[in-house]
Amino acid sequence: MDLWKNNLDIFREQNPWWVSGAVPADLVGSVRRLYYDHIVEHLATQREVLLLEGPRRVGKTTLIYQAIAHLLASATPPGHILYVSVDDPYLNRETLFRDIQDYFEHFVARRDLRSAEGTFYVFLDEVTALDDWELYVKRYYDLKYPLRFVCTSSAAAFLKKRSRESLAGRISAVQVYPFCLSEAANLRGTEPRLIEAHTLLRETWAAFYKHFDVTRLHARLQEVEKEFGTVLLDELPLRLYLLEGGFPEYILAGSPRYKDRYFLESVVDRTLFHDIGPVFGATDLHLLQRLFLYANNQSGALMNISEASRNLGAPYSTVAGYLRSLSSAGLLYLLPKFATSVEAEARSIERVYAIDPGLYLSLARVDPADLDQTGAWGRLAEICVFAEFKRHDLRDIRYWRDRDREVDFVVDCAGALLAVEVKFRGDPLDPRGLRGLEHFTRKFPPTARIIVSRNTHRLCEDRTLVVPLRLFLG
């Protein structure tokens, strides 16, 4: 019983709305994320366990607090909402689920929970800190307890590997990414009309990805540009986003010293040492860190494992295995080559991308003053384009290459191909820079072609749409 009292004390500390009736403003945050409406709708209509997964420090906990604030505003009794930070070191995890049930039965429902009226909400933050959590959640779900579970975890690989098998048919997953351009601008207090413009742009692109109709897309982008022209022409929000990305704490940090250490200490090392290392049994954590930094520096380029093995002085098999582990954590992604067969695709060298331009720039130690000279703006633009695809939940993303001809991204949606090139320097329609796109078009005629440029906006006669990056990002 003493252990249970200890957990109850922790519950009281972590759920201040039991006393005040409201979530403290500093926990809710100032920016409502793109995922908010989906979470709120799910809680109102679905029994399935809702899983928020993604890299560390992207705002998953804030999303939970925003959902709790919504429930309270919707007249849900405060006692019906239980938040638990599962990685709290004082928490007795062995009795956690028993104590959760006891709390609701003894203090809220005052009866057996299965016969209680109403719905009871359980938010489990960093749930994978608890062994076998999925088995407990499955039990409550299958026995039809009036519980709604929302869980978060940074160890996405573990969830995909094991927990989803146990919760098959009982779980709905939402991948949470760093802030998009409009969210980052909102966090900085940018003019509301810019936020409105990029919200419309996001909706416009979401509609396009369903049908790949470039004519309709071009017309809608022109309408948005006409309505918000002056606001969208302001280069500062885009420039800041390319330089700093979408990790909220990094955006708000005022200290250059803190910014300099932020990604390595607060994001990367915690991911490697607390998530990937224990989950995959990686024993050489120093090599794991060096490989991450090496792969990050390669963002936008081919990730040759043989070359990485030589440069890092590590066995090929170890590097290959560690790289797979790293790509499951949500900070780095590997893109396969578009090929005509599964075998050819499997044999190809993959291309690597960091998920965020600020992450890449900080860890690669690139001086922003050198971006114009080195042409690295184009690499940052590519990272942003890739991340935007991920936010739109486009899952079949590849690159294409044939000798010295290549296409940055090939997106396959139910057999319809979208070919995308990022041309952030010079004339985006210079034929010399489009040899790869033209060659790909002859071999695998795509439904649509997009060229992401710095400033050019134009629909060509061959129905290729050239669009500025500022109109591409939501």
What's CA 444's distance to the chain center, in Å?
30
- DSSP of 353-421: EES-HHHHHHHTT--GGGHHHHTTHHHHHHHHHHHHHHHTT---EEEEEETTEEEEEEEEETTEEEEEE
Structure tokens at 388: 């935007």
pLDDT of residue 162: 61
Report d(CA 11, CA 5) in Å as an integer.
10
Tokens linked to 269: 């090392």
Question: In the prediction, which pLDDT does 156 show?
Answer: 59
**Of 190, 171, 170, 172, which is closest to residue 180 (Cα–Cα)?**
190
The answer to whether 182 touches 202, Cβ cutoff 8 Å, is yes
Confidence (pLDDT) at 60: 97
pLDDT of residue 164: 63
**Segment 180-228, tens digit of pLDDT:** 999 999 999 988 999 999 999 999 999 999 999 999 999 999 999 999 9
Distance CA 122, CA 188 (A): 32
For 2-176, CATH number out of 1.10.10.10, 3.50.50.60, 3.40.50.300, 3.30.1320.10 equals 3.40.50.300
Render pLDDT for 343-400 as a digit per residue (tens, 0 to 9): 777 788 999 999 999 999 999 999 888 888 787 899 999 999 999 999 999 999 999 9
Determine the pLDDT at residue 157: 52
The pTM of the full predicted model, rounded to 2 decimals, is 0.94
Buried b or exposed e, range 125-154, using 16+ CB within 10 angstroms: bbbbbbeebbebbbebbeeebbbbbbbbbb
| Domain definitions of the chain by residue range | 2-176
E strands, 44-191, are 49-53, 81-85, 120-125, 147-153, 171-175
Q: Whole-angstrom Cα distance, residue 318 to residue 401? A: 27
> Residue 400 has what pLDDT?
98
| Sign of CA pseudo-dihedral 119, 120, 125, 131 | negative
Residues of the chain with pLDDT under 70: 1-5, 155-164
Which pair of tokens denotes residue 95? Answer: 């009795």
